[in-house]
């Protein structure tokens, strides 16, 4: 007898653009998939500014040493955060809450690399 098991129960959480489809989870927890559609309008000036800011935050993560990245990954695991070290780094770099890093350092006993706030240009 075959069982139908939701992908989430197997640890699969698919979202984003996959194999020509955009996939997301709706407010009721159901997966929604539709063919990828190109944007109808060019990006607005605000979108361009936000994308540039995110790009600069990602470049700062990329510039970290392997040891610094490993410390961030280990800290998120020890603190049981529902994110990777990279996600944590980007989240902190894009907000002004510097106390978050201090809290994670105190809870995990790991000295984390400085995470500079990435301003809009």
**Strand, coil or helix: what is 100?**
helix
Q: Any long-range contacts for 98-103 (C-beta under 8 Å, 24+ apart)?
A: none
Domain ranges of the chain: 13-39, 45-108
Q: Evaluate if residue 11 carries a pLDDT over 60.
A: no
Does the pLDDT of residue 79 top 60, yes or no?
yes
Residue 91's SS3 state is helix
* pLDDT, tens digit, 9 for 90 and up, residues 44-67: 999 999 999 999 999 999 999 999
Kindly state the average pLDDT of the residues 93-107.
90
Nearest alpha-carbon partner for 68 in 107, 101, 106: 101
**pTM assigned to the model:** 0.72
Length in residues, the chain = 121
């Amino acid at each position: 007898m075959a069982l139908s098991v939701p992908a989430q129960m197997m640890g699969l959480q698919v979202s984003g653009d996959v194999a020509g489809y955009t996939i997301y989870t709706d407010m009721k927890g159901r997966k929604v998939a539709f063919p990828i559609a190109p944007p109808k309008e060019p990006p607005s000036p605000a979108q361009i500014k936000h994308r540039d800011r995110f790009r600069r935050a990602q470049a700062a993560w990329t510039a970290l040493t392997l040891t610094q990245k490993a410390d961030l990954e280990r800290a998120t695991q020890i603190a049981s955060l529902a994110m990777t070290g990279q996600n944590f780094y980007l989240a902190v770099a894009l907000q002004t809450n510097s106390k978050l890093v201090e809290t994670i350092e105190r809870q995990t006993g790991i000295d984390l690399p400085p995470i500079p706030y990435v301003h809009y240009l």
